[in-house]
Chains A and B, each alone.
Chain A
Amino acid sequence: MNPQLPRPQLSRRQIIKGSAGVLGMMALPGLLSACGSDDGGSGSDGDPIRIAVTSATSGALAIYGRAVLDLAPFAAKYLNDAGGANGRKIELKIYPNNGETADAIRAVESAVRQDGFEILTGYFSSAQSAAIQQSLDRLGLLFIDPDAQADGLTGATCNPLYFRTVPSVSMNLNTLADGVRGLGITSWSALCSDYAFGHDAYDAFKRLVEGQPGTTVAPGHFPPLTHADYGSYISKLLGEGTKGLFTGVAGADAITFFKQASQYGVLDRFDAIVGVNSFDVLVFDAIGDAGLGLYGVPGYDPALDNERNKKFVEAFTKEFGREPFYIEANTFVALEMLLAAVAETDSTKPAALAKQLTGFRTDTIMGNVELRAEDHQIQRENWFGQIVRDEATGGIKWGNTTAVNKDNVATPVSAECKM
C-alpha cells in the first residue's frame, strides 16, 4: 500500500526559500531582544542600578527561565520599596533568549552594546554561563549568576567579574553525602542530561558513593536536553539490576523521565532514588505520586527562621500564590548581595562592585552568606530532603528536610581557578 499523497505544486527553489525564511522566523524570539522592560519602581535619589536580566523562554529549562522573568520585576520592586541602596533603585530590562547558548550570548551582547548595561543576572544553563564568562572582560560586564551549577564556572573558567550565588554541583552532592551514605545502597545506576551540569553531577556522585567500600556506580546515561522519549534509557536501567538510581535531569525533562519510568514500573524496582535539581515546586504537580519517597536537595527552605526571609516569603506568596523555590530564592539573594555591594561602594561600576563582592559577606534571606574571595563561589548552608505527601493538597512536597552546615557543603577552592 503506497498511495500518493497530494503532490506539491512548488519548485524546489520555492521550498528551500520558504523553509529558510520560516526557520529564520523561528529564531525570532531571540532576535526580538529587550521585548519587555520594567523599572521595578521609580523615584530614585541617585543614579539607578541598571541590571540586564536574560532568561530562557523555550527549551527544557524554560519553566525556570519564565519563573525568573516573573520574579525579577517583583524582586526589584520589593527591594526598591525597601529603600534600594542608599536611595539608588534597581532598574531592570528583560532580554529573553531561546535557551540556546548562542542566543544567550546574542542577548547579552545586545544588552551591553545597544543599551549600555554593565551588570547581568537572570537564568542560565551551565553552558550559557560558561560562554558568557569568556566575554566578560571584553564587554566590561559584571555577571552575578544565580543558577548555573557546573563546577568549572568557579574552577577552571573562573573570572574576576563572575560571581555565583548558587551552590555548585559538587556542593549539592556534599549536601547529599550523609543522607546517601545512610541509605546503605551499594550499587547505583545514573541518568543525567547531556550538558555540563549533568556530567558534573554524575562525576561528583560517582566520587561521593565510590568512596564507600564495595559501592559501585554503573556507567552513566546522558540523554540530550528536551528528550521526548526515555524508553530506551529506561530499558537499559532495568537491565542493570542496581539497587539505587541517581538522576540529574531538570524541568520538563524530569517530568518526562519520571512519568515514563513510572509507566514502565521502574521506580518501584529501586530501593532509593536520589536526584539533584530534579524536583521542585514547578514540577511537583506534573511528577505527582511518581515522586513520592525520592531524595534530593531542595536548595532552599522557605521556612527559614529569619526576618528577611519571612517578609520575602510573605510578599512572594501574596504575589504568586505559592512559596518561592530555590531558583527564585537564589536570584533574590543575587539582587540582595548586589544592592548591599552598591550601598557599600556607592558605585554601579563593574570594577568597583567586583572588588567589593570579592570575599563579601552580607545578610540575605538565606542568612549571612559569603562570596568566597578565591573563586567567587557563595558559601552557605544547604538542605537535604525527601519528597513526601502534602496532606493539605493531596499532592507532593519537600519533607524530612535537614539543614547541612556550610562547612560540610563547601568544596575546596579549585587549583585550576586563576583570577
Chain B
Amino acid sequence: MAIQLLNALAYGSLLLILALGLAMIFGLGGVFNFGHGALYMFSAYTAYSLSSAVSFWLALVTVPAVLALVGYLVDRGAFRFLRSRDPIELAIITYGGALVVENIVVMVWGTQPRALDAPAPFNGSVSVLGDPYPSYRLFVIVFSLAVAIGIASWLRYSKMGLHVRAASRDLRMTAVAGVDTDRLNAVVAAVSFGLAGVAGVLVAPYATVSIDMGARILVIALIVTTVGGLGSIGGAAIAAIALGLIQVTGDVNLPGWSALTPYVVMIVVLIVHPRGIAGRIET
C-alpha cells in the first residue's frame, strides 16, 4: 500500500508541475497553450542529450531556464499581439507551434524513443516497508512539491505575485493602477514555459522519451487543470495527487477501466461542482 501511495504521489507530482504551467498561462493571458506538451517533450529530449553528454543536474538547471527565456520572448513577440483575438485562433496557433517543435525534435533526434538512466545518487532503490522503491521517484516527489510550494509562495508573498493575482481579477484596473501588465504576462509565460521544462527534465529518467509523450500527457494535464479549477494552485495540487491515486488504484484493482478513470473523474467533478475543486470560472 505504501508503495502504491508513493507511485501515486510520484505520478501526481509530475502532473502537478505540468498542470500549474498550463493553468498559469491560461489564467492571466487567456492562452490555451496546446504547445505545452510539445515543450515538455522537447525538454525531455534536450535533457536526454545534455545528461548523456554532460550531466542531468546541469539539464535540470539550464533547460527550464532556457525555456523560461523562450516563453518570455514568445509572449513579447507573439502572444502580446494576439490576446485580443478569438481564443480559438490563439489555441490553433499554439497547436501549430507544437507541430513545429515536434518536427524539430524529429529532425534532431529522429523518431526512435530514448531512455535515460536515473542520475547518481538517485540511480538505485531504497527499501520501503521491505519492498524496493526507486530513489529517483522519491526525488521527483520532493522536488516537484518544492517547486509547487515555491510557485505558491511567489504568488502569495511577492510583490509581483500580488500584481499577478490582481491582474487576474481585473486586468484593466491593475493597469490603471500603474502595473505593467504586458510585462506581467511575459513573466507568467516565462514561468509556464519553465515549468514545462522542469517536468520534461524530471520525466526523462522516469519514463520513455518519445515523440508522442507530450500529446499523451497534455490531455491528462488539461483534465487536472479543469478538475482542480482553472484558478487555483491548491485545486490543481489536489486534483493531480487525487488523479494519480485514482489511476494507480485503478491499475491495481480495475485494470480494464484505469485508462478511463481520468475522464470519468472530470465528468463527475464538472457535474457535481462545475467550477472544479477550487475554481472560479466566470460565466
Contact call B216/A228, Cβ cutoff below 8 A: yes
Cross-chain contact B115 with A288 (CB below 8 angstroms): yes
Chain A's closest residue to B165 (CB) is A4
Interface pair B252/A236, CB less than 8 Å apart: yes
Residue ID in chain B nearest A228 by CB atoms: B207
Which B residues lie within 8 Å of A6 (CB)? 24, 27-29, 164-165, 167-168, 188, 231
The stretch of A45-53, A139-147, A218-226, A375-383 that contacts the partner chain: A218-226
Chain A contact residues: over half helix, strand or loop, or mixed? helix
Q: A4-B280, A228-B11, A233-B251 are in contact. Are A63 and B111 (CB under 8 A)?
A: yes
- Which one, A4, A235, A260, contacts B231 given CB within 8 A? A4
Q: Assess A235 versus B281: contact at CB under 8 Å? Given A1-B234, A3-B161, A252-B210.
A: no
| Residue of B7, B20, B28, B282 touching A229 (CB-CB under 8 A) | B7
Chain B count of residues within 8 A CB distance of the other chain: 80
Question: Contacts A255-B115, A264-B134 hold; do A232 and B252 have CB atoms under 8 A apart?
Answer: yes
**Chain B interface, DSSP helix/strand/loop, else mixed:** helix
> Chain A residues near B27 (CB, 8 Å)?
5-8
Closest to B167 in A: A6
A18 touches B231 (CB 8 A): no
On chain A, the residues within 8 Å of B55 by CB distance are none
A293 within 8 A of B: no
B233 and A5: CB pair below 8 A? yes
Q: How far is the CB of B225 from chain A (nearest CB, A)?
A: 10
Q: Mark B30-53, 1 if CB is under 8 A from A, else 0.
A: 101010000000000000000000
Q: Is the CB of A9 within 8 A of B30?
A: yes
Give min CB distance, B79 to chain A, whole Å.
Answer: 14
Judge whether B233 and A9 touch: CB under 8 Å: no
Assuming the A-B contacts A3-B156, A22-B32, are A263 and B113 also in contact, with contact meaning beta carbons closer than 8 angstroms in the complex? no
Q: Is A25 an interface position by the 8 A CB rule?
A: yes
Q: How far is the CA of A194 from the CA of B260 in the complex (A)?
A: 13
Residues A282 and B231 in contact, CB atoms below 8 Å apart: no
Q: Cβ of B111 and Cβ of A66 under 8 Å apart?
A: yes
| Known A4-B280, A260-B207; contact A223-B113, beta-carbon cutoff 8 A | no
The answer on a CB contact under 8 Å between B207 and A256 is yes
Q: Report whether B165 and A226 are in contact in the complex, using a CB–CB cutoff of 8 Å.
A: no
Measured CA separation A231–B7 after assembly (Å): 6
The residue that A21 contacts in the complex, of B20, B88, B281, with Cβ under 8 A, is B88
**Cβ contacts A234-252/B at 8 Å (1 or 0 each):** 0110100000000000011
Please state if A226 and B248 are interface contacts (CB–CB under 8 Å): no
Q: Determine the distance from Cα of A285 to Cα of B116 in the docked complex, in whole angstroms.
A: 10
A11 within 8 A of B: yes
* Contact with A5, one of B10, B32, B232 (Cβ below 8 angstroms): B232
Asked, given contacts A21-B91, A26-B95, whether A59 binds B112 with beta carbons under 8 Å apart, the answer is no
Q: How far is the CB of B134 from chain A (nearest CB, A)?
A: 4
Render A85-112 as a binary contact track against B, CB cut-off 8 A, 1 for contact: 0000000000000000000000000000
Are B28 and A231 touching (Cβ within 8 A)? no
- Check B259 for interface membership: any CB of A closer than 8 A: yes
Instruction: Assess the A8–B231 pair: CB atoms within 8 A.
Output: yes
Q: A14 at the A/B interface (Cβ < 8 Å)? A: yes
Q: Which residues of B contact A292 (CB under 8 A)?
A: none
- CB <8 Å contact, A3 and B207: no
Whether A19 contacts B234 in the complex (CB less than 8 A), given A6-B165, A194-B256, A251-B113, comes out as no
In the complex, which residues 1-54 of chain A have their Cβ closer than 8 Å to any Cβ of chain B?
Answer: 1-12, 14-15, 17-19, 21-22, 25-26
B7 touching A7 by the CB < 8 A rule?
no
Q: A5-B24, A231-B7, A283-B113 are in contact. List 20 more A-B contacts (CB 8 A).
A: A1-B149, A4-B232, A5-B233, A8-B230, A8-B281, A12-B281, A12-B282, A14-B86, A15-B32, A18-B32, A21-B88, A26-B34, A58-B215, A63-B210, A224-B258, A228-B216, A229-B10, A229-B207, A252-B210, A265-B132
Name 11 A/B residue pairs within 8 A (Cβ), A-sorted: A6-B24, A8-B231, A11-B282, A58-B215, A194-B256, A222-B256, A226-B212, A228-B11, A231-B11, A259-B208, A288-B115
Residues of B within 8 A of A (CB): 3-4, 7, 10-11, 20, 23-24, 26-30, 32, 34, 86-88, 90-92, 94-95, 111-115, 117-118, 125, 131-134, 136-137, 149, 152, 155-156, 161, 164-165, 167-169, 171, 188, 206-208, 210-213, 215-217, 222, 230-236, 247-248, 251-252, 255-256, 258-259, 278, 280-283
- List 9 A-B pairs, minimum CB-CB distance, nearest first: A6-B27, A6-B168, A2-B234, A6-B28, A231-B7, A286-B115, A263-B134, A18-B87, A3-B156
